[in-house]
Structure 1
């Protein structure tokens, strides 16, 4: 391996004299290329790339300027979503007019099959959709377009496109939910060492989505990510350990200890823990009941796109916990949650349509949402369908 890498690196250095030096930089920053190497080799190559990056000094900043003009950056100048160095370099070679937010150059490159352009355009459209607060859950043309762009990039083995494509399958965004397909994609990436996929796969085992629920396997995958320095992996381990303490799984049950850990992790920005501590305050689990705090934590979780946090906010609006009772508003949040294939949000929508709470009564729509949750094995929805079957 070492000899082969040394030989390849030597050849690449020789090629710099004869070919466009951008090629060497792109290859070294390519995600698939890096995933095929051990960490020590990657570190060495990245040091080489750091020296090579000035070769692109006029191109990458030009691309960053375009991103700023297109409204894709936070106030600190960083992109609103992660983009790997290899993608930034590949895109910068085709971004000519940085003074405009026009996307035609990007759409043209995506149409020609450029994986980086397809992935980047898909992520831009996702950001647009989030800012427009699109609540269309079924058959959204925009979501289908995003799915097709990710699929096109994923078919060229673009790792992050595969990762986000798995999320589409997992949450039913632009495609029917397919947890088996999502697991396949996550596992393939996780086995190749992609930390985000390892965390996502751990989450599937933690929540029993597409696989049998297995906390031990979840922690194994979280640990693999944490071993690579993933802060998200570390937080998930601590969170799941707190869940076990909360329920008494394999340890002594201690609600106060669990709630304390949830709140600590919530303060660090972990969205699952923000939902859990909100739930603790909502129902008095290890802390005194405080609906105002419950709503605040649910909101912080939901602001990160957490479907459980969104469902929690819906519950607060439905019952008037920590906020004025507003059942139509609750429906909006249940829809957001259900739109990410969350079985609790789907069950809530089923109940609201069945009873006519916040929406006109519609048994057919109630059955639709109950079935969505029942297909995930959610017992409450299964029981509701049986009851409705007897009533009808």
Structure 2
């Protein structure tokens, strides 16, 4: 390609190389620099516009201390956005809004991630209206996803998977994960594997789960590797295709848990809770559930709430129980939703409010949780 650019002086080589889907996830800045230098018309873009865009990112507090973007962008995304950055030196994103409105997928994706970052840190320009902000995020991600942007597809899938700004829809999440996964995006491959593992939005299939985890692992994804080992341990634990061996499986879970794998932390917490493969130990159970919860695992958060409710492995604390149930519920976990609904119905740790109870019960019931459906019937709000 370099020879083609030199011989023909084709100004479109920049577009062919940097905006072709096949290159988006493969090229780093060093490679792009080499390619751009063979095209005189493209060389100024590298020397002026990218630094200008990085300066703007710095003014928006989007850079880590090491100068790298906190929001992941492919090199081609950075170039696609920087082409339209004409010297903005202040924290003004109007020019980016304009690009998103004109169909620039990279701009739509970046705007969505900026808003997500603010939501995660509970920072907004005005009084917070989380529902409106979440809707803006999903609209921007959808725009970029419709233009086949793999990272937008992944993050939109996460919204549908976790019930963030949209109704929870595992089938839609799985399809979006698949769209990004077939483009080679490792995090989406892990997400799709997770869907197959749990039968969420697709027919459950451990072979398919391992296939997608392996694709991610082959690209160096440690998360993909951990999921493979974890899933194999689950098979050993439950005797799927092998001899059941709870002690061996518990040992694997604990090893993975020590590596920071939240599902394994949840599993080993359960092993110590129920005495599966290890001796019952309430304190260790609570410690592992807490580690899983701290990493954002909604089931771990629910179990921490259970432990605080019952004083299992820790001092009983109703307020903390409610806090963890709510965190789990807000991530779309049907158990967390039902339990915060129950406490709202009874006034345990929260003000008694039947409407609030019905709100959470219905979210849980829509995911098929029988207790939530029965609870709605008891307060005459089901179906």
- TM-score scaled to structure 1, two decimals? 0.81
Structure 2: tracts of 5 or more residues without a match: 38-42
SS in structure 1 opposite 2:203? coil
SS in structure 2 opposite 1:209? coil
Counterpart residue number, 1:272: 263
SS in structure 1 opposite 2:304? helix
Structure 1: tracts of 5 or more residues without a match: 1-5
Matched, 1:199 2:190: yes
CA distance, structure 2, for counterparts of residue 293 and residue 75 of structure 1: 36
Match of 1:126 among 107, 112, 116: 116
Counterpart residue number, 1:149: 140
Counterpart residue number, 1:221: 212
Residues 268-311 of structure 1: per-residue CA shift (max 9 Å, x gap): 23222222233334444333444444444334433433222322
RMSD: 3.5
Counterpart residue number, 1:3: none
Counterpart residue number, 2:295: 304
Match of 1:329 among 315, 320, 337: 320
Given the superposition, is the C-alpha separation of residues 289 and 70 from structure 1 closer, same or farther in structure 2, using an over 3 Å criterion?
farther
Given the superposition, is the C-alpha separation of residues 99 and 305 from structure 1 closer, same or farther in structure 2, using an over 3 Å criterion?
farther
Counterpart residue number, 2:201: 210
Match of 2:22 among 27, 33, 53: 33
SS in structure 2 opposite 1:59? helix
CA distance, structure 1, for counterparts of residue 64 and residue 240 of structure 2: 41
CA distance, structure 1, for counterparts of residue 75 and residue 361 of structure 2: 44
Q: After superposition, where does 1:103-142 map in structure 2 within 5 Å? A: 103-132=93-122, 140-142=131-133
Match of 1:355 among 331, 343, 346: 346
- TM-score scaled to structure 2, two decimals? 0.83
Given the superposition, is the C-alpha separation of residues 330 and 101 from structure 1 closer, same or farther in structure 2, using an over 3 Å criterion?
farther
CA distance, structure 2, for counterparts of residue 133 and residue 337 of structure 1: 21
CA distance, structure 1, for counterparts of residue 377 and residue 321 of structure 2: 25
Which structure has more relative contact order (CA 8 Å, sep 6+)? It is 1
Match of 2:34 among 51, 61, 68: 51
Length, aligned pairs only: 374
Runs of 4+ deviating beyond 6 Å: none
Match of 2:337 among 325, 328, 346: 346
